[in-house]
Amino acid sequence: MSEEKSEGSTNTMKLFGMILPSLPLIALRSSGALFRFKLEAKKGGRTFQKELIKHGLDETIAAQLTQIYLKPSNITQYLKMFRQ
């Protein structure tokens, strides 16, 4: 029983040792992807709002609809969902 535990902890340490050097690169790539995602969402929201106004919708209603349109691109909502 104790041999299995020591073997399991050894495997865990090996895995951690393999992953640790690549963590900064993973964090950098992830932050870049999140930044691009947020930038594209903002750009899409501006286009969405302009089109709503162009087709005769009131500016305040267009702004409210744009906020609803952009809600799924809020990263913090996804993080809250994963924490639960």
pLDDT tens digit string along 39-58?
999 999 999 999 999 999 99
Decide if pLDDT at 3 tops 60.
no
Q: C-alpha dihedral over 14, 18, 19, 24, to 10 degrees?
A: 140
Residue of higher predicted confidence among 9 and 24: 24
Q: Tell whether the model's pLDDT for residue 1 goes beyond 80.
A: no
Radius of gyration of the chain, Cα coordinates, nearest whole angstrom:
22
Q: Nearest to residue 36, comparing CAs of 7, 11, 73, 78?
A: 73
Identity (one letter) of the amino acid at 26?
I
Alpha-helix residue ranges (DSSP H) falling in the chain: 2-19, 23-54, 59-70, 75-83
Q: What is the pTM of this model?
A: 0.61
When the pLDDT of each residue in the chain is averaged and rounded to a whole number, the result is: 83
In angstroms, rounded to a whole number, what is the distance separating the alpha carbons of residues 11 and 6? 9
CB within 8 Å of 73: residues ≥ 6 apart? 37, 38, 41, 45
Average pLDDT value for residue range 27-41: 85
pLDDT value, residue 65: 95
Decide if pLDDT at 4 tops 70: no
